[in-house]
A = this chain, B = another copy of it.
Amino acid sequence: MIKIGILGYGNLGRGVEAAIRKNPDVELTGVYTRRDPGSLKIASEGVPVRHADELLTKRGDIDVLIICGGSATDLPVMTPKYAAIYNVIDSFDTHAKIPEHFSNVDKAAKAAGTIGVISCGWDPGMFSLSRVYADSILPDGSAYTFWGKGVSQGHSDAVRRIEGVVDARQYTIPVEKALDAVRSGQNPELTTREKHTRECFVVAEEGADKAKIESEIKNMPNYFADYDTTVHFISAEEMKRDHSGLPHGGSVIYSGTSSEGTTHVIEYSLKLDSNPEFTGAVLVAAARAAFRLNSEGLSGAKTLFDIPPVYLSSRTPDELRKSFL
């Protein structure tokens, strides 16, 4: 059994917890929080909730620590910090800052002899894998990634961090016209703005400067600045009633040619009832791989690009070849 600790018990933490219950070879040994541990009621019976400070001295009951924090401010600090003590997994999703984050985690993990798998989930994650496989096979081609319609946790989180925001939900919406053009094999040139729109539902503090919040959202670099974004201010009741689910999905569509006039279209698509539960499921598979890689004496930062698929599976290589190849 691979012993897993979860740091952070928000949507993603609960998604990881659900995934652990579906995997027979991993067990949850503790949930760690920066809040008062006594205030947290978790779904797994008999599993202790402890303060994050208890992670600072290496614990024997953790093989892999899955860090469930936000990409904006949590993970850049937490992942290197805990990689210095444990094998760690994160879902860092600020695409533009991945090289820097990778480098920071790599240094900490190599010094400590641990493995840190960063940017797991579906994008970055499964969608990234789909892009790399397609580009490796058909280098003469183009990848198009469409998200949604669905709630982006990272973007909702980013909005929630703005002063005066109590709660927020951000929907990413693909532009139908763009989707149609790509699927028809037209290989169109599309700007970021032409592919998706973003829609935010925000509960503001009483008396907050709504115009300032809206402006901060729309101009936030990496997250919103390159998109047409609409912002709606709603009540907490409306938020609960209309926006409590976290569905998501999307498609990576790759169109490539192997010779004059010979085109192939590869599509990888996801329809997810729950973004955090699916992301959590990818993190748990990555935790299995991290444990195995580290058991073989390897260390440093990794991404799914570096991991042989067989390391992600609870099945034996023989079984995979016999039943899945």
A→B interface (CB under 8 Å): 15, 18-19, 21-24, 95, 98-99, 102, 119, 124, 126, 128-133, 135-140, 257-259, 261-274, 277-278, 280-282, 285, 288, 303-310, 312-315, 317-318, 320-322, 324-325
Contacts and interface: CB of A to CB of B under 8 A. Distances in A.
Nearest to A185: B271
Contact of A264 (B261, B266, B268, B273): B273
A22 B137 CA distance: 10
A259 B291 CA distance: 24
Nearest to A248: B264
A281 B314 CA distance: 30
B258 A310 contact: no
A241 B37 CA distance: 74
B313 A135 contact: yes
Nearest to A306: B308
Contact of A270 (B135, B265, B285, B325): B265
A18 to B, nearest CB: 4
Given A98-B321, A128-B324, A136-B309, A277 B304 contact: no
Given A18-B259, A305-B308, A268 B265 contact: no
Given A119-B325, A137-B278, 8 more contacts: A132-B324, A135-B315, A258-B280, A264-B270, A266-B269, A305-B317, A305-B325, A306-B308
5 contacts: A18-B262, A131-B324, A132-B324, A136-B314, A305-B320
Contact of A129 (B124, B135, B304, B309): B309
Contacts of A262: 18, 273-274, 277
B325 A258 contact: no
Contact of A303 (B257, B270, B325): B325
A317 B139 CA distance: 16
Contacts of A98: 321-322, 325
Contact of A265 (B19, B259, B271, B320): B271
